[in-house]
Amino acid sequence: MKRNKILIVDDTKLYRQSLSDILKQKYGILEAENGKIALDLLKQNRDSIVAVILDIVMPVMDGFEFMEEFNTHKEYKYIPVIVATTRDDVEVEKRCLALGVWDFIPKRFHPDIIWFRVVNAIRRSKQHILEYDALTGVYNQQMFFQKTRELLDEFPNGKFAFIRFDIDRFKMINSFYGAREGDRLLKYVAGCIRKILKSYENYTFGRVAGDIFGICVQVKEPKEALKIAQTIRERLKEYENLHCYLETSAGCYMITDKEMDVSAIYERAVIAAGKCKGQYMQHEVLYNDKMGEALLREQVIINEMDQALANQEFVVYFQPKYELDEYSPCGAEALVRWRKPDGSMVSPGEFIPIFEKNGFIIQLDYYVWEKVCQYIQGELESGREPEPISVNVSRVNLYNPKFLESLINLVEQYRIPPQYLNLELTESVFSDTENVILNAVDYLHKAGFTIMMDDFGSGYSSLNVLKDIELDVLKIDMKFLSKSRNGDDGRGEKILEAVLQMAKSLNMPVIAEGVEEKRQVEMLKRLGCNYIQGYYFAKPMPLEQYRKLEKKSNK
């Protein structure tokens, strides 16, 4: 049986027969003598039917009734329906077109004409599947970008805005109300955009991905573009189906250089949209060059990173940790810096997030660990007993299949007992307590490493994580506690006290980080905190300086 089938719906056997004769060399043929049987056959063969040839006047269910039912099935949307007519009847033809019929063939069958009409209709429908988003019926990303290109080329002197927007927390809608509701909402949005853009002359729009839509439209001024986005958002509020508050984030970019790649144009709209996220009351943001500069800086960093690593421009600083009873140093945290050839220092806050995005952090972390291993080895070989050094392990590493192996190889290569190298994992790593992470932690424990949970309290998952994973040390950043919005009314202290108590009952030592003031030191001491790290005692320092400090305290 041929895979692609044509469904012939006609009550006259003779007609069915002659159509079948024309088409059966290439297609499988299904026959139905009325609309009802046809619908049943469609249901059973919906993946293999590529076209329907339909008679209008039939008993039981006629062609019009068939079309009405057919149109309620979105999965049939791209199956072309061709109506076979006996005579020219404008009224019938109009009604058919209104019902979404693709084409007509005369009932005095001429084999070649039938053949071409059917094949063309099938080809057009395949094209449609390639160009349109199946759910919403608007252009898909590829086609939308292409149409944007054509639009910009067609009006070289026009002023165009590009708008990219999405629905805030769309994933939540999907998971609370189900994918069907999510789909409905997306279709509604597509309909809104279509309506709003009707009053414009030159535009195109499409669904870029998921809940992201894009619009390219000729406007007089930027305000107009923002207004379009705002109107969409307002329309969304009128959407009654869900009993929740729908908001959008829109980024608008006024296209200045028409030669620019559409993907670069899109990128700018994405940057602008990114400025809305998490910002209360700001839903439409116009791109400006400052935002672009940040991107440019990012690009510069990416261009320079490999060379910088090879040139040893990344240097490891050490920030001592202190034991609170005696104020004696007890190890340090290794923190990376980027010393540019001109002597300027770039702080990790600027480059780590970028490297986490592009994966370079895996190489950089390894580099830092190796530097720390070299230091520890040097100490051990000179007969000194170094205090442990903790290194940061980016979350990206947890998804790196070579992570465990490369770390273990490293300490073996430098013959370092693992108790000298502690690992700091930020709390957000554990937000998804997948097996990968549980297993990695377990493995590292068995290998003898001490694992610290960094930035405890800054994420969302802290308490659950403590239940699920056995970690060795908690690090709390004082910044999270001291910056209370309405002045310090003692709430921070109470939270800290509770955390310290909990840690104690779990037998977990606590390191307070970011300690800057004497007041904090005294409080921490009173509350029974074990260790501190912070500017109050020492800032991160180059290795040489740290060495001296270590020597002094060993005396």
Residues lying near ligand C2E in the complex (CB under 6 A) are found at 319, 335-336, 347-349, 352, 361, 365, 368, 392, 394, 424, 454-455, 513-516, 533-535, 540
**How far lies 109's CA from each of 21, 80, 85, 112, in Å?**
11, 19, 10, 9
Binding partner of 482, given Ca ion, ligand C2E, none, CB within 5-8 angstroms per partner class = none
Q: Is 455 in the site for Ca ion (CB under 5 A)?
A: yes
Largest CA distance in the chain: 109
Shortest gap between Cβ of 333 and ligand C2E (angstroms)? 6
- Please choose which of ligand C2E, Ca ion, none residue 249 contacts, taking the beta carbon within 5 to 8 angstroms, the exact cut-off set by kind: none
> Would you give the binding string for Ca ion spanning residues 421-450, x where CB under 5 A is met?
---x--------------------------
Name the token pair of 92: 């019938």
- The token duo for 373 is 């291993």
Question: Which residue's CB is nearer to ligand C2E, number 33 or number 454?
Answer: 454
- Write out the E strands in 260-313: 284-286
**Closest C-alpha among 546, 516, 550, 512 to residue 532:** 512
User: In this complex, which beta carbon is closest to ligand C2E, that of residue 166 or of residue 427?
Assistant: 427
Nearer to ligand C2E, 109 or 367 (CB): 367
Q: What is the C-alpha to C-alpha distance for residues 289 and 268, in angstroms, rounded to an integer?
A: 9
401 binds, options Ca ion, ligand C2E, none, Cβ within 5 to 8 A by partner type: none
- Contact partner at residue 217 from ligand C2E, Ca ion, none, CB < 5 to 8 Å by partner kind: none
**Please, which residues bridge with residue 392 across strands?**
424
Name the residue nearer to ligand C2E (CB basis): 59 or 359.
359
Q: Minimum CB separation from ligand C2E for residue 429, in Å? A: 11
Residue placing its CB nearer to ligand C2E in the complex, 139 or 338: 338
Measured distance CA(468)–CA(344) in Å, rounded: 43
Closest approach, Cβ 473 to Ca ion, in A, equals 11
Round to whole Å and give the CA distance between 3 and 122: 14
Give the total of residues touching Ca ion (CB under 5 A): 4
Quick one: 368 or 523, whose CB is closer to ligand C2E?
368
Residue 352 partner contact from Ca ion, ligand C2E, none using kind-dependent CB cut-offs of 5 to 8 Å: ligand C2E
* 453: exposed, middle or buried (Cβ count in 10 Å: 0-12, 13-18, 19+): buried
Give the nearest distance from C-beta 356 to ligand C2E in angstroms: 8
By a kind-dependent CB cut-off of 5 to 8 A, residue 335 interacts, out of Ca ion, ligand C2E, none, with: ligand C2E
The residue number with the shortest CB distance to Ca ion is 424
List 365, 454, 493, 550, residue binding Ca ion (CB under 5 A): 454
Q: Give residue 447's identity as a one-letter amino acid code.
A: A
Q: What angle do CA 78, 84, 87 make, to 5 degrees?
A: 140
Residues 6+ positions from 447 with CB-CB distance below 8 Å: 408, 418
Shortest CB 511 distance to Ca ion, Å: 9
CB of 329 to ligand C2E, least distance (A): 14
E strands, 234-393, are: 248-255, 284-286, 314-323, 328-339, 345-346, 389-393
Smallest gap, in angstroms, from Cβ of residue 446 to Ca ion?
A: 23
Phi, psi at 158, each rounded to 5°: -80, 155
Site string for Ca ion, 5-44 (x = CB under 5 A): ----------------------------------------
Query: What are the angstrom distances between the C-alpha of 346 and each of 174, 314, 337, 514, 543?
Result: 41, 9, 6, 19, 17
For binding to Ca ion (CB under 5 A), which residues are involved? 392, 424, 454-455
